[in-house]
Amino acid sequence: MGLPKDEFIRLRVAGWEKHWISHKAEKAHMTVSEFVRKAAMDKNIVVLEFSDELMTELRRQGNNLNQLTAMAHMGRIQQINYEPFLEVYNKTWQALSSCLSRVV
Domain boundaries, the chain: 1-47, 51-103
Residue 1, pLDDT score:
55
- For residue 19, pLDDT beyond 90: yes
3-state per-residue secondary structure call for 45-99: CCCCCCHHHHHHHHHHHHHHHHHHHHHHHCCCCCCCCCHHHHHHHHHHHHHHHHH
pLDDT digits (tens, 9 = 90+) for 38-67: 888 877 767 666 667 777 887 888 898 899
